[in-house]
Homo-oligomer: A and B are copies of this chain.
């Protein structure tokens, strides 16, 4: 399956696309970040987000979309812009006929690192390892969008209740060198 992940935001909106095979091997298709300055009119910033996501949908035709679930509880100052950007992403997903999933940051971290309270840097490092990248995608919003897409594919393919350690399950069955390195790093991270 080809999944487009969106880490919604106004200052930086991460967009990542991955192909995930039946054996859970994930490969990078696209990654980008829509950046707009706070001095730009709100509607223009949202239009830039809309255009960035639409371009990726038009160009790469994903079969599913994953968007970070936004909560009103934390960071009230920026949450409205984040929610507005997520609404645009979700409506575009429906417009393109995609299966759309919402995942919390904890769910993404658990799926990618096996640890729901993992730090951002750990998530980025795991994303790079899973995708076989020589460097962690920057800024963090890019890595987060890819993590969302991978999380969505892994959670979806698991079916039924959510396995909090699907990454480990995937590694147990035929790990690549990159995945082995990732598993070693994961153990190191979790044991800290």
Interface residues in chain A, defined as those with a beta carbon under 8 Å from any beta carbon in chain B? 41-44, 46-47, 49-50, 65, 70-73, 76, 79-80, 83-88, 90-91, 93-95, 100, 102
Are A95 and B42 closer than 8 Å at their CB atoms? no
Highest count of chain B CB atoms <10 Å: which of A41, A49, A85, A87: A87
Return the contact of A84 from the options B50, B65, B83 (Cβ within 8 A): B83
Are B72 and A102 closer than 8 Å at their CB atoms? no
How near does chain B come to A82, taking the closest CB pair, in angstroms?
A: 8
How near does chain B come to A96, taking the closest CB pair, in angstroms?
A: 10
Are B94 and A44 closer than 8 Å at their CB atoms? yes
Are A83 and B87 closer than 8 Å at their CB atoms? yes
Q: Which residues of B contact A80 (CB under 8 A)?
A: 70-72, 83
Are A50 and B95 closer than 8 Å at their CB atoms? yes
Are B87 and A79 closer than 8 Å at their CB atoms? no
